[in-house]
């Protein structure tokens, strides 16, 4: 009996440490699902529990602008990137309620003199308040970003990967659940998202606002597992200062099912799958109808190995020339293995495939202002360099790989060193300086060192 208890304690410790490593590595990307996760006891200050930390990073990046590798070598800028990322998480639990918020400013400085940054500091703020009652349960949250280069906050599918125009992105969510007995319930989930750029004419994207409402009927299959059916509707309006193809808005409807499984109050498996219909007004007037899903899961493969998987297939609004939307399919595998008590190695691979809805068309439309076709050739002037790709549907393929090792020096001090690489291909051709190139054909290689101190 003593031996069994001892073995179980070691196994449990490694399970916890393995999950901690996954959370730590993923937190480097400010993943929304990880933002409130904690892996230590924190600091007790009165009724509050605080988790202060700071990370220092240095990255050697051989292509900071994600420029096409078909450009001359002197146009591809290499640079070191210095990052300082302080973070404070406050947790206030009381009875069946909880209030949490996280604030993390990020200072980013490029060593290359070829890049003059307009803004070096980004801000990330998350807030969540929850109430669990016998009849009603409520949750309210807000995610606010004031950034520049963090474009996946604006478009998860990665249509554009680098920008220098400051933006503000805010997502406010609510959830009200009516419990109907011990196992069933009905939830109402409103979401409002607003994105604005300081200078929309020079931005890679356009500002937009989105209102979404979701209704769920949920059933508790077992203590850790929740099954639900849902129907959602959202209404989106883009803010376009330059009206080249007409103002664009859309309404979307999705119906489907979902599954969520938790372990120690952390979601380790989730699946959300359904059928989505998007009706556009303006632009190319192409509409979408088809299956969509998001899934993630974490498996403990052994005492010291954790495998995490995320997969998705979604349709996202597009800002590329005359396209209304593109379909994004992605898969990521993340493997973490512990060596001894305090050292681990980490690796991941990812693949993304983006398919655009419409054949490229740069022709003048009735909504196009005459000033956008000064040579009166029937083509929009700013897009004439894309003439070789007219009539072609854009297709992108993105590959990502990374590997690294970390050392938990002490309870509050951690070190990580790693390498990661991105590679993108597309079928688009554009004339640049008299040469025909693929503007989205790039490769990026980075070597990263990170020192992190504090509580998480």
Give the model confidence (pLDDT) of 65-87 as tens digits: 999 988 876 789 999 999 999 99
State the CATH architecture for 2-454: Beta Barrel (2.40)
Average pLDDT estimate for 171-180: 94
Domain ranges of the chain: 2-454
Distance, CA of 161 to CA of 142 (rounded, Å): 24
Average pLDDT estimate for 277-296: 89
CB atoms within 10 A of CB 276: 19
Give the model confidence (pLDDT) of 209-222 as tens digits: 999 999 999 998 88
Confidence class of residue 16 from pLDDT cuts 50, 70 and 90?
A: very low
Whole-model pTM: value is 0.86
Q: Which of 5-19, 37-51, 307-321 is most confident?
A: 307-321
Average pLDDT estimate for 195-212: 79
Q: Which residue has the higher pLDDT, 37 or 271?
A: 271
Least confident of 62-76, 96-110, 181-195, 424-438: 62-76
- How confident is the model at residue 204, as a pLDDT? 60
- Secondary structure string (H, E, C) spanning the chain: CHHHHHHHHHHHHHHHHHHHHHHHHHHCCCCHHHCCCCCCCCEEECCEEEEEEEEEEEEEECCCCCCCCCCCHHHCCCEEEEEEEEEEEEEEEECCEEEEEEEEEEEEEECCCCCCCCCCEEEEEEEEEEEECCCEEEEEEEEEEEECCCHHHCCCCCCCCCCCCCEEEEEEEEEEEEEECCCEEEEEEEEEEEEEECCCCCCCCCEEEEEEEEEEEEEECCCCEEEEEEEEEEEEEEECCCCCCCCCEEEEEEEEEEEEEEECCEEEEEEEEEEEEEEEECCCCCCEEEEEEEEEEEEECCCCEEEEEEEEEEEEECCCCCCCEEEEEEEEEEEEEEECCCEEEEEEEEEEEEEEEEECCCECCCCCCHHHCCCCCCECHHHHHHHHHCCCEEEEEEEEEEEEEEEEEECCEEEEEEEEEEEEEECCCEEECCEEECCCCEEEEEEEEEEEEECC
- How confident is the model at residue 6, as a pLDDT? 31
Distance, CA of 3 to CA of 70 (rounded, Å): 62
- How confident is the model at residue 31, as a pLDDT? 45
- How confident is the model at residue 75, as a pLDDT? 82
Among 25, 14, 61, which residue's Cα sits nearest to residue 403? 25
Confidence class of residue 88 from pLDDT cuts 50, 70 and 90?
A: very high
Confidence class of residue 118 from pLDDT cuts 50, 70 and 90?
A: confident
Q: Which of 256-260, 336-340, 400-404 is most confident?
A: 400-404
Distance, CA of 51 to CA of 91 (rounded, Å): 8
For the chain, the straight-line distance linking the first and the last C-alpha, in angstroms and rounded, comes to 34
Mean of the per-residue pLDDT values for the chain?
86
Least confident of 2-11, 91-100, 239-248, 360-369: 2-11
Least confident of 6-10, 38-42, 96-100, 434-438: 6-10
């Amino acid at each position: 009996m003593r031996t069994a208890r001892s073995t179980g304690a070691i196994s449990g410790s490694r399970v916890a440490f393995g999950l901690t490593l996954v959370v730590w590595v993923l937190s480097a990307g400010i993943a929304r699902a990880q933002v409130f996760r904690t892996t230590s006891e924190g600091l007790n200050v009165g009724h509050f529990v605080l988790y202060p930390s700071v990370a220092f990073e240095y990255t050697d990046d051989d292509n900071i602008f994600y420029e096409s590798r078909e450009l001359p070598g002197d146009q591809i800028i290499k640079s070191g990137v210095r990052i300082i990322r302080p973070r404070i998480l406050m947790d206030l639990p009381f009875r069946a309620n909880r209030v949490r918020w996280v604030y993390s400013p990020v200072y980013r400085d490029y060593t290359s003199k070829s890049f003059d940054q307009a803004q070096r500091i980004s801000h990330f703020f998350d807030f969540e308040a929850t109430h669990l009652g016998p009849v009603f349960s409520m949750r309210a949250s807000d995610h606010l970003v004031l950034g520049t280069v963090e474009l996946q906050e604006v478009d998860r599918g990665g249509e554009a990967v680098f920008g220098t125009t400051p933006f503000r992105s805010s997502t406010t969510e609510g959830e009200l659940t009516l419990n109907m007995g011990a196992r069933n319930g009905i939830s109402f989930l409103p979401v409002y998202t607003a994105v604005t750029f300081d200078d929309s004419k020079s931005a890679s994207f356009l500002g937009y606002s989105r209102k979404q409402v979701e209704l769920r009927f949920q059933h508790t299959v077992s203590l850790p597992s929740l099954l639900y059916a849902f129907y959602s509707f959202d209404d989106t309006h883009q803010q376009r200062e330059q009206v080249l193809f007409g103002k664009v808005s859309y309404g979307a409807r999705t119906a489907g099912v979902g599954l969520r499984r938790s372990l120690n109050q952390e979601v380790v498996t989730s699946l959300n799958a359904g059928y989505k219909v998007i009706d556009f007004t303006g632009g190319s007037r192409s509409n979408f109808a088809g299956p969509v899903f998001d899934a993630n899961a974490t498996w403990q493969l052994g005492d010291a190995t954790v495998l995490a998987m995320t997969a998705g297939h979604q349709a996202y609004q597009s800002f590329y020339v005359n396209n209304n939307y593109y379909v994004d399919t992605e898969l990521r595998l993340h493997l973490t293995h512990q060596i001894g008590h305090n050292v681990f190695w980490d690796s991941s691979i990812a693949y993304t495939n983006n398919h655009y809805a419409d054949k490229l068309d740069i022709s003048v439309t009735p909504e196009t202002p005459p000033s956008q076709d000064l040579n009166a050739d029937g083509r929009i002037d700013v897009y004439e360099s894309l003439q070789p790709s007219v009539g072609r549907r854009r297709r992108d393929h993105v590959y990502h790989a990374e590997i690294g090792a970390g050392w938990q020096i002490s309870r509050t001090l951690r070190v990580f060193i790693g390498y990661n690489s991105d590679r993108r291909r597309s079928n688009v051709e554009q004339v640049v300086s008299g040469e025909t190139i693929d503007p989205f054909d790039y490769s990026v290689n980075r070597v990263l060192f990170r020192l992190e101190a504090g509580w998480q």
